[in-house]
Amino acid sequence: MVIDHRLEVGGKGSGLSHAWVIVDGLLIVSTYISPNIDYKAADEIITEIEATIAKHRGKKPILAGDFNAKIPAAGSTLLDRRGIAILEVASRHDLTLLNDGKTPTFRRGRQVSYPDITLVGDDIAKDTTWQVLDTESLSDHNYIDICIRSDHIGRLSRERGDSKNIWDVRNLSANNLKRKLCEIKEEGALDDPSPENLVRQSLRICEAAMPLLRPSAKTGAYWWNGTLRSMKKECIKARRTLTRMRARRSLDSGEVERAAQEYSIKKRALVREIKTAKSAKWKALCEAVENNPWGLAYKIVTKRIGLHPPKLAEELEKEIILELFPQEPRPSDRQKPKERCEPPSPFSKEELKKAVNEMGTRKAPGPDGIPGGVIKEIAENEPEIVLRSFNELLKRGEFPRIWKQARVYRPISLLDEWGKLYERLISGRLVEKLESGGRLADNQFGFRKGRGTVDALEVVIGTARRELVKSQGSRGTCVLTTLDVKNAFNCANWDTILDGLRRRDIPGYIVELISSYLSERIILHGSGDVAVTAGVPQGSVLGPILWNVLYDYVLRLKLPAGVQAIAYADDLALCAVARTPEEMEVKVNGAIIKILRWMEVNGLALAAEKTEAVCLSGRKRIRPLVLRVGGVQVPIKEEVKYLGVTFDKKMTFVPHVAEQLAKAHKLNGEPEETAPEIRRALRA
């Protein structure tokens, strides 16, 4: 219903189980999908609705109706196949779910449900309110009031335009890229070494080298191809010819029979070609497993493909960002002396080549939209130009503000690829210094070359087994306590990181660069941004290295004898050995208190409710231990999971094997025969 005469109706139409109207830049789509039709029929309707939205690209969509779908965010307890299909459409077309997830839209007696779904474009979500009215509707469905600010509607069509470049990297033309790069170089556009100009010229190269990615209105079957499309057209043409001939009774029956045979032949040929296409795709998928075991085949088996929740409303998104990125006192408000240092040696071609080789070409780009593959080509073809820009920044001890903007995506920070290449050059020198001379504790196994989870697990297993092999009289008890740090990476204190670099005699110019890197950082969301004053960006190159510098303080705390702290990134565990339960309680509780005090001073905190412990005592029985994190008692369990491995008190690892076997059975079905040694272990 249009209630404002000033609004302009720009078109209307209908399709399979839906109708649409364009009102002053808004595309309003209304639909009803019966609960009595099967998934295939419902999917056809949803696909046609998506085609309507795609056909009117440039309009702001409002999609509302009785979908009879189950979506948890809308209030349902389950997610069904219809719900998945709707969420996929929302993800592909940047739609926000307006349902509050609390108020039912359908009532029949005591029965309530949430079948009515409302989705709107991200750009108008912040100016749209959604409410279920408590008014008699003479129906089981309640009235839903959707209100859009009129002043916002008036400017919709004028403000339309893509604010974000999404390039189709699959169609990147290396020849066009090199041609445009030479053209830009010849015209002198690369003489300015500033990062802003580097980004500007890179965008010009992107425009010349590849098209923008435009999502298709309808995604065809994975096996569909051009040959099948042509054969289908011919088949439809033959069927229509046969239908017309049968309608004309005056025609010779022989002609009708020949037309029927022609249609039958083309139909059988199409069916055979479809089977061939499916078989070829299946064969290609199987062959791809050899080259990429974690690719499409793995995602299909583990059901990790095609499921994308709708984007959050802007206000909620901002609340979550402020919760995840706590606001510390701004470092820029504190007086900081400039690092005194010798002029650094410029980055070399060898350093740039190594950094470029480490770049991923298929990763999601940052806010500027420039893909890593384009930057890699530019750096390989014109290394002198790239080095001149980076070395100018190095000389000034500066990490440019343009590369300190990030867009958060569950919970990775998407950063510009030019900035990440600069980070790689800095990290190469920083890691070399940190890994020499024992500047990092041996018990940090995360984010370090040549170390991993297996090494951390071996420390725990080795400590426990050394006690288990001792005689009963001299044997002590080993306790593994896993500690959980709240929102660890986003709360890392910048001053503590810089202090850690100075204490480790890291060259002053690197400290100055890191100080610049950790200042004036911004998180982008919707149409706004939030200043970041703490934390290391997840998804960055320098972030993990700087985290290790910070966490090194924890690993070097003077803990009670027999207690060692083991870290893998932010996963922290205490492995303690003691002769008696009383001694164990004193040692572990003392270690936890020291860690808590350090974290409190440095802006971190332990999640007491997530802390767990297990006594790796074998068959030896000991009384229940009393361990505490703050005022919360730590549960002593029969089994504890650490770094993906389940530790049981007898150190048999049977529960871990059983869990992994259950997962394998779930993915692959029950195997015809389980290894005899595993069967014996599981029966033990």
Q: Give pLDDT tens digits for 334-365.
A: 445 455 567 899 999 999 999 999 988 778 88
Note the pLDDT of residue 264. 87
Q: Which CATH number do you get for residue 120? A: 3.60.10.10
382 belongs to a structural domain: no
* In contact, 684 and 653? CB cutoff 8 Å: no
Q: Which residues pair with 28 in a beta bridge?
A: 21, 62
Region of residue 295 (left: phi > 0; alpha: psi -120 to 50; beta: else): beta
Note the pLDDT of residue 335. 44
Do 557 and 610 reside in the same domain of the chain? yes
Highest averaged pLDDT of the listed ranges 54-58, 523-527, 612-616? 612-616
289 belongs to a structural domain: yes
Q: Flag whether pLDDT at 219 surpasses 90.
A: no
Q: Give pLDDT tens digits for 596-615.
A: 999 999 999 999 999 999 99
Q: Please name which of 567, 501, 496, 566 lies closest in space to residue 535, comparing C-alpha atoms.
A: 496
Q: Flag whether pLDDT at 580 surpasses 50.
A: yes
Note the pLDDT of residue 517. 96
Give the Cα separation of 448 and 359 in Å (integer): 18
Residue 572: pLDDT band (50, 70, 90) is: very high
pLDDT (average), residues 403-414:
79
pLDDT (average), residues 541-567:
95
Residue 667: pLDDT band (50, 70, 90) is: low
Note the pLDDT of residue 675. 53
Give the Cα separation of 545 and 400 in Å (integer): 20
- The dihedral over CA atoms of 277, 283, 284, 287, expressed in degrees to the nearest 10, equals 180
Note the pLDDT of residue 311. 52
Give the Cα separation of 185 and 201 in Å (integer): 10
To the nearest whole percent, how much of the chain has pLDDT over 90? Answer: 47
Do 561 and 460 reside in the same domain of the chain? yes
523 belongs to a structural domain: no
Of the listed ranges 381-395, 599-613, 614-628, the least confidently predicted one is: 614-628
Comparison of pLDDT for 449 and 471, the residue scoring more: 449
409 belongs to a structural domain: no
DSSP string over 17-62: TEEEEEETTEEEEEEE--TTS-HHHHHHHHHHHHHHHHHTBTBEEE
Q: Which CATH number do you get for residue 590? A: 3.30.70.270
Note the pLDDT of residue 305. 57
Residue 5: pLDDT band (50, 70, 90) is: very low
Residue 138: pLDDT band (50, 70, 90) is: very low
Do 97 and 237 reside in the same domain of the chain? no
What's the mean pLDDT when you consider all of the chain? 84
Residue 260: pLDDT band (50, 70, 90) is: confident
Count of structural domains, the chain: 4
Do 555 and 627 reside in the same domain of the chain? yes
Residue 159: pLDDT band (50, 70, 90) is: very low
169 belongs to a structural domain: no
Do 141 and 231 reside in the same domain of the chain? no
Do 455 and 558 reside in the same domain of the chain? yes
Do 608 and 475 reside in the same domain of the chain? yes
pLDDT (average), residues 578-582:
92
Comparison of pLDDT for 682 and 318, the residue scoring more: 318
Cβ neighbours around 610 below 10 Å, total: 13
Q: Flag whether pLDDT at 535 surpasses 60.
A: yes
Residue 277: pLDDT band (50, 70, 90) is: very high
Q: Which of 266, 301, 336 is the last residue of a domain?
A: 301
Note the pLDDT of residue 598. 96
- Pairing type for strands 116-121 and 128-132 reads unpaired
Helix, strand, or coil here: 614?
A: strand
Note the pLDDT of residue 551. 95
Do 247 and 277 reside in the same domain of the chain? yes
Do 477 and 556 reside in the same domain of the chain? yes
Name the token pair of 522.
């911004």
Helix, strand, or coil here: 576?
A: strand
Q: Flag whether pLDDT at 163 surpasses 50.
A: no
pLDDT (average), residues 453-469:
92
Region of residue 24 (left: phi > 0; alpha: psi -120 to 50; beta: else): left
Note the pLDDT of residue 94. 87
* In contact, 26 and 156? CB cutoff 8 Å: yes
Q: Flag whether pLDDT at 647 surpasses 60.
A: yes
To the nearest whole percent, how much of the chain has pLDDT over 70? Answer: 83
Note the pLDDT of residue 57. 83
Q: Give pLDDT tens digits for 428-452.
A: 999 999 998 888 999 999 999 999 9
Cα 667 to chain center, whole Å? 23
* In contact, 533 and 329? CB cutoff 8 Å: yes
Residue 77: pLDDT band (50, 70, 90) is: confident
DSSP string over 502-567: HHTT--HHHHHHHHHHTSSEEEEETTEEEEE-S---TT-SHHHHHHHHHHHHHHTS-PPTTEEEEE
Do 484 and 564 reside in the same domain of the chain? yes
Contacts of 614 (CB under 8 A, 6+ apart): 479, 480, 636, 637, 638, 639, 640, 647, 648, 649
Structural domain containing residue 661: 654-684
Is the backbone peptide bond immediately before 411 cis, with ω within 30 degrees of 0?
yes
Do 547 and 666 reside in the same domain of the chain? no
* In contact, 99 and 146? CB cutoff 8 Å: no
Q: Flag whether pLDDT at 331 surpasses 60.
A: no
322 belongs to a structural domain: no
Of the listed ranges 160-174, 284-298, 466-480, 596-610, the least confidently predicted one is: 160-174
17 belongs to a structural domain: yes
Q: Which of 137, 159, 181 is the last residue of a domain?
A: 159
Q: Which of 263, 283, 301 is the last residue of a domain?
A: 301
Terminal-to-terminal C-alpha distance of the chain: 71
pLDDT (average), residues 523-552:
88
Do 545 and 606 reside in the same domain of the chain? yes
Give the Cα separation of 301 and 385 in Å (integer): 46
Q: Which residues pair with 646 in a beta bridge?
A: 641
Note the pLDDT of residue 65. 92
- Pairing type for strands 405-409 and 412-415 reads antiparallel
Q: Flag whether pLDDT at 191 surpasses 50.
A: yes
325 belongs to a structural domain: no
Contacts of 600 (CB under 8 A, 6+ apart): none
Residue 158: pLDDT band (50, 70, 90) is: very low
